[in-house]
Amino acid sequence: MNFIDYDSNSLISFYIDNGLEFDENKGYFGKNVKSYVILEKEQVIGALYISIYKNKNFIETLAVDKEHRHKGYGKLLLKKSYKRIRKANLYYFYSW
């Protein structure tokens, strides 16, 4: 299992397949974004999208593949992304 930075735009279908509603015409992903994924056998099984604005991190989306839920992957995404963001001297997460 790998935890890596990932291209935000390529995750839209993953989010839709796992119950999040997206309108691709709205342009959700701005310029200052970070996406992290958990890969298993080169398949995305969990993804987290964070926007960064005025030195604050906003959790925009968090999704785990339906077949991999209730195994701690969402918590793992939050913990690992927090460690990476902290290295950039950004310490807080906000969510909507």
Segment of 27-41, 43-57, 76-90 carrying the highest mean pLDDT: 43-57
Check pLDDT > 80 for residue 95: no
Which two three-digit tokens encode residue 84? 């990476």
Q: Which CATH superfamily is domain 2-95 in?
A: Gcn5-related N-acetyltransferase (GNAT) (3.40.630.30)
Q: pLDDT grade, residue 92 (50/70/90)?
A: low
| The pLDDT value given to residue 3 | 66
Give the closest residue to 77 by CA, choosing from 65, 67, 89, 91: 65
pTM: 0.72
Quick: pLDDT tens for 1-17. Answer: 676 777 777 777 787 78
H helix or E strand, kind and range, residue 77: helix 73-87
Quick: pLDDT tens for 53-85. Answer: 777 778 888 899 999 999 999 999 988 888 877
